């Protein structure tokens, strides 16, 4: 059985991406043509609903629900944003998609904008993705020259401007309301989720924000249909998924696989298992803000629902492997230091709590921990639980910490008892 | 003596023209000026704020929030070393120690000849090829101390 890989079909590792002409030759921009000349926005949303496409940025929110939540009579112009601010440590799927096939993303942006009647679109890309920026700039210029962007696209009367915004760098921009503030020229501080951004977002206008991988799926769903998309997967969530593995595995990398591929298959088959002399100790299944899982969880299908049942989150599908020769406390300290640095500082639990957690972990790692530290860390996971902070940054940061306290208890205690790191 | 040249102002104006508001161009504006002048000094901050019709304090708030706006002078080449989790697992600490020894600078410092500044960076998105650094937007992966020395030698020749 050949496995279909729609998202990466045009991508040549290490090669140049397809030009607009080459992209058209393999069926590119056919979905835009179909949508603009023969469908209504409501019909596009219906196809997305039938496909059950869920957001690939980490939250798994149904795309059709997001697109459909723009009130029909709401203000215009509306804005459509592709979130290319991929900063979740461990994650690089969107970089590969943008570098490898920039027109695929642009096509998804045009269709999403049409479906939500947005006339202004942005790709919000992180500063460090310099090659993706270069290739997207060229592809956007080609799309304008060939009438896929600009006024009266394909004679349909639909207008769309697309701007590539290069961020000056901050993890919090991955939070939707913070990203919008950044585009407005402000500090990227999250704001209230009421009213929703789909009603009142960028400059007070309805704004739709989708992850890059999500949008790359859209042209294929339009071309081949919802049923085809659902059948690509091995589980209840449709489509394929970009999964990656990093750490001390034999072949770290990124693969497009059916949604619901078991975690074990990703690590043992695609990544080739552990390097010689290393054993697997634990795994973060979906980037830095997901709970650790253990060897006993490896048969979990990597879908939104199944990973949640196992006690973690699918997140970005970026698997980070912790081996037995790396100190788990050192690793958790690295993670909490990252989150502390990237806290925007707006709400107290996150601003004060994350550096507190990081400093306790550093003390334990340096052999200066005391037994009470563990209950303090536990209290911090409770104080930064969902609902106690302004946005999802601190609760996300507590996922690796909370699960580490559960799974690596003995390692914490050994550090404190022996007043040193046993791995150093 | 104004720091913003007419050419820079033209670039700034182009960003303002496509923005909904003048202020919305401020992150692009600071990146443009930094590309020309290397960093954002107090003087250039005042001029950019004036051009965008923002107060200097408001612009300073934005400038100090983002990782890639430099409010202190940096060397000709900024070495961004990824300190996030995958690079940490794959040897970030020993690489950073090697860099510190070779160049004689710690994180946040610039070499005496003004060539290199070493700064930490959050995940470069090269997690499958860790450890990684970036210099002038160029990504270097699977780094070993030997490879790092070669890269630095090539920048020294260029400089």
| Domain-embedded: residue A199 | yes
Smallest Cβ–Cβ distance between A92 and the set B27, B127, B137 belongs to B127
Any residues with CB less than 8 A from the CB of A391 and at least 6 apart, and which? A172, A175, A177, A178, A190, A347
Of A244, A338, A341, nearest to B127 by CB-CB distance is A244
Omega before A251 cis (within 30°)? no
Contacts of B137 in chain A (CB under 8 A): 130
- Window 94-113 of A, Cβ < 8 Å to B: 95
CATH of the domain at A200: 3.40.50.11540
CATH of residue A272's domain is 3.10.20.600
Decide if A343 contacts A354 (C-beta within 8 A). yes
Residues in chain B with CB shorter than 8 Å from the CB of A167 are 27, 66
Angle, nearest 10°, between helix axes A130-145 and A93-100? 40
DSSP A106-150: HHHHHHHHHHTTEEEEEEEE-TT-HHHHHHHHHHHHHHHHTTSSB
Q: Please count the residue pairs, one from chain A and one from chain B, whose beta carbons lie less than 8 angstroms apart.
A: 131
Tell me the three state secondary structure of residue A163.
strand
Q: Does residue A413 share a domain with residue A276? A: no
Sign of the four-CA dihedral A111, A114, A118, A119: positive
Answer for the pair A206, A70: CB distance below 8 angstroms, yes or no.
yes
Task: Read off the pLDDT of residues A53-62 as tens digits, 9 standing for 90 and up.
Answer: 999 998 899 9
User: Helix, strand, or coil here: A365?
Assistant: helix
Q: Which residues of B are less than 8 Å from A247 in CB distance?
A: 86, 89-90
- Give me the residue from B18, B67, B134 closest to A168, CB to CB: B67
Residue B18: list chain A partners with CB under 8 A.
161, 163
Nearest chain B residue (CA) to A204: B20
- Residue A272 located in a structural domain: yes
Question: For an interface test with A, which of B85, B87, B140 has the most A Cβ atoms less than 10 Å from its Cβ?
Answer: B85
- Does residue A2 lie in a domain region? no
* Alpha-carbon distance A397 to nearest alpha carbon in chain B (angstroms): 13
Q: Residue A383: give its domain's CATH number.
A: 1.20.1440.230
* Residue contact A203–B21, C-beta within 8 A: yes
Which of B23, B122, B129 is opposite residue A171, by nearest beta carbon? B122
Query: Among the three residues A305, A323, A341, which one is the final residue of a domain in this structure?
Result: A323
Q: Is A27 helix (H, G, I), strand (E, B) or coil?
A: coil
- Option in B65, B122, B138 nearest A187 (CB): B65
Contact status of B157 with chain A (Cβ, < 8 Å): no
DSSP string across A304-362: HHHHHHTTS--TTSEEEEEETTS-HHHHHHHHHHHHHHH--S-SHHHHHHHHHHHHHHH
**Domains contained in chain B, CATH given:** 6-63 (1.10.10), 77-158 (3.40.30.10)
| Torsion over CA: A235, A241, A244, A250 (sign) | positive
From A266's Cα to the closest Cα of chain B, the distance in A is 14
- The H or E element containing residue A162 is strand A161-166
Query: B138–A130: do the CB atoms touch at under 8 Å?
Result: yes
pTM above 0.95, yes or no: yes
| Nearest CB partner across the interface for B86, out of A87, A89, A186 | A89
Residues A171, A110 share a domain: yes
Looking at the domain assignment, is residue A11 inside a domain? no
**Domain stops at, among A323, A342, A357:** A323
Residue A240, phi then psi, degrees to nearest 5: -100, 175
User: Do A311 and A366 belong together in one domain?
Assistant: no
Which of A289, A323, A357 represents a domain boundary (last residue)?
A: A323
- Chain B residues with CB under 8 Å of A244 CB are 127-128
Same-domain check for residues A194 and A62: yes
Burial A234-271, CB ≥16 within 10 A → b, else e: eeebbbbbbbbbbbbbeebbbbbbbbbbbbbbbbbebb
* Rounded-to-integer distance, Cα A267 and Cα A221, Å: 29
Do A99 and A247 lie in one domain? The reply is no
Q: Is A187 on the interface with B (CB under 8 A)?
A: yes
Inspect the interface and report whether the beta carbons of A318 and B122 lie closer than 8 Å.
Answer: no
Residues from chain A that touch B97, judged by Cβ atoms under 8 A, are none
Strand pairing partners for B79? B118, B135
Q: What pLDDT does residue B119 have?
A: 97
Pick from A176, A194, A197: nearest CA to A85: A176
- Let me know: does A160 contact A122? Beta carbons within 8 Å: no
Residue from A77, A81, A84, A89 whose CB has the most chain B CBs within 10 Å, to mutate? A89
Dist CA B73 CA A356 (whole Å): 31
Domain that holds residue A385: 328-418
The 3-state DSSP class for residue A379 equals: helix
Q: Which residues of A touch B49 (CB under 8 A)?
A: none
Minimal CA–CA distance to A235: which of A257, A212, A255? A257
Q: Is the domain of A97 the same as that of A220?
A: yes
User: Distance (Å) from the C-alpha of residue B150 to the closest C-alpha of chain A?
Assistant: 22
A268 and A142 within one domain: no
What is the structure's pLDDT at A250? Answer: 98
Distances (CA, A) of A230 to A118, A244, A250: 27, 21, 32
Contact residues on chain A for B130, CB-CB shorter than 8 A? 246, 252
Tokens of A54: 């869920």
The structural domain count of chain A equals 3
Tokens representing residue A410 in the block: 């003995």
Joined together, the tokens standing for residue A368 give 């200066």
The model's pLDDT over B30-54, given as tens digits with 9 standing for 90+, comes to 999 999 999 999 999 999 999 999 9
Of A240, A232, A281, A237, which is closest to residue A257 (Cα–Cα)? A240
Shared domain for A292 and A371, answered yes or no, is no
Contact B122 A168 (CB under 8 A): no
Q: Please indicate, yes or no, if residue A179 is contained in any of the structural domains.
A: yes
Residue numbers of chain A with a pLDDT score lower than 50: 1
Helix (H) or strand (E) holding B77: strand B77-82
| Upper half-sphere CA count for residue A314 (Cβ side, 13 Å) | 25
- Helix extents (H) in chain B: 6-18, 26-37, 42-52, 56-63, 85-89, 92-103, 145-158
Q: Are residues A223 and A244 in the same domain?
A: no
- Best probe of the A interface among B24, B122, B137, by most A CBs < 10 A, is B122
List Cα–Cα distances, A299 to A103, A259, A306, in angstroms.
36, 14, 10
| B63: three-class secondary structure by DSSP | helix
Distance from CA of A154 to the nearest CA of B (A): 23
User: Which regions in chain B score pLDDT beneath 50?
Assistant: none
Looking at the structure, tell me whether residues A142 and A42 fall in a common domain.
Answer: yes
Same-domain check for residues A86 and A187: yes
CA distances from A188 to A46, A341, A343, B56, B65 (A): 34, 14, 10, 18, 8
Residue B110 touches chain A, beta carbons under 8 Å = no
pLDDT for res A2: 63
Residue partners of A29: CB distance under 8 A and separation at least 6: A20, A23, A103, A107, A148
The pLDDT tens digits for A329-342 are 999 999 999 999 99
Judge contact between A82 and A165, C-beta under 8 A. Answer: no
Encode pLDDT of A115-171 as tens digits.
Answer: 999 999 999 999 999 999 999 999 999 999 999 999 999 999 999 999 999 999 999
Could you tell me if A330 lies within 8 Å of chain B, comparing CB atoms? Answer: yes
Specify whether A219 is located in the same domain as A246. no
- Residue A305 tokens, joined: 């629902």
């Amino acid at each position: 059985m050949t496995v279909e890989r729609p998202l990466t079909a045009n991508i040549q590792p290490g090669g140049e991406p397809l030009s607009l002409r080459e992209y058209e030759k393999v069926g590119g921009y056919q979905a835009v043509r179909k949508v603009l000349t023969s469908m209504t926005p409501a019909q596009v949303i219906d196809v997305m609903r039938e496909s059950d496409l869920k957001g690939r940025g980490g939250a798994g929110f149904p795309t059709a629900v997001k697109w459909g939540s723009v009130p029909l009579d709401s203000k215009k112009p509306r804005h459509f944003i592709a979130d290319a601010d991929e900063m979740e440590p461990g994650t690089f799927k969107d970089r590969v998609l943008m570098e490898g096939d920039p027109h695929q993303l642009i096509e998804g942006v045009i269709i999403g904008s049409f479906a939500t009647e947005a006339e202004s679109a942005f790709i919000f890309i992180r500063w460090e993705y310099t090659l993706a920026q270069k290739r997207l700039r060229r592809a956007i210029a080609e799309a304008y020259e060939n009438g896929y962007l600009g006024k009266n696209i394909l004679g349909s009367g639909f207008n769309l401007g697309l701007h590539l915004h290069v961020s000056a760098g901050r993890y919090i921009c991955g939070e939707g309301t913070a990203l919008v503030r950044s585009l407005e020229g402000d500090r990227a501080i999250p704001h209230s989720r009421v009213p929703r951004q789909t009603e009142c977002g960028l400059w007070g206008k309805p704004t739709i924000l989708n992850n890059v991988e999500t949008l790359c799926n859209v042209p294929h769903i339009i071309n081949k249909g919802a049923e085809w998309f659902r059948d690509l997967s091995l589980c209840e969530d449709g489509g394929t998924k970009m999964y990656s593995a990093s750490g001390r595995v034999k072949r770290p990398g990124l693969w497009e696989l059916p949604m619901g591929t078991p975690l074990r298959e990703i690590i043992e088959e695609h990544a080739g298992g552990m390097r010689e002399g290393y054993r697997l100790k634990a795994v973060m299944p979906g980037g830095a803000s997901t709970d650790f899982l253990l060897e006993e969880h490896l048969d979990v299908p990597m879908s939104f629902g199944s990973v949640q049942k196992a006690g973690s989150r699918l997140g970005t599908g970026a698997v980070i492997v912790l081996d037995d020769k790396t100190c788990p406390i050192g690793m958790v300290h690295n993670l909490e230091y990252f989150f502390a640095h990237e806290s925007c500082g707006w709400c107290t639990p996150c601003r004060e709590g994350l550096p507190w957690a990081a400093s306790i972990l550093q003390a334990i790692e340096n052999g200066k921990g005391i037994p009470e530290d563990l209950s303090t860390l536990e209290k911090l996971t409770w104080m930064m639980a969902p609902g106690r902070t302004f946005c999802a940054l601190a609760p996300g940061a507590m996922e690796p910490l909370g699960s580490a306290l559960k799974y690596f208890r003995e390692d914490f205690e050994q550090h404190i008892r022996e007043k040193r790191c046993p791995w150093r | 003596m104004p720091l913003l040249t007419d050419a820079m102002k033209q670039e700034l104006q182009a960003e303002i023209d496509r923005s909904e508001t003048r202020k919305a161009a401020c992150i692009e504006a600071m990146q443009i000026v930094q590309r020309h002048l290397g960093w954002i000094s107090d003087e250039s901050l005042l001029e950019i704020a004036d051009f965008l019709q923002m107060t200097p304090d408001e612009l300073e708030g934005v400038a100090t929030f983002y990782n890639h706006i430099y409010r202190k002078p940096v060397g000709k080449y900024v070495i961004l070393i990824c300190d996030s989790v995958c690079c940490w697992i794959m040897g970030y600490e020993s690489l950073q120690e090697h860099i510190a020894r070779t160049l004689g600078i710690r994180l946040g410092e610039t070499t005496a000849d003004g060539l290199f500044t070493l700064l930490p960076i959050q995940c470069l998105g090269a997690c499958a090829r860790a450890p990684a650094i970036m210099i002038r937007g160029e990504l270097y992966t699977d780094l070993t101390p030997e490879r790092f020395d070669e890269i630095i030698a090539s920048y020294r020749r260029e400089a």
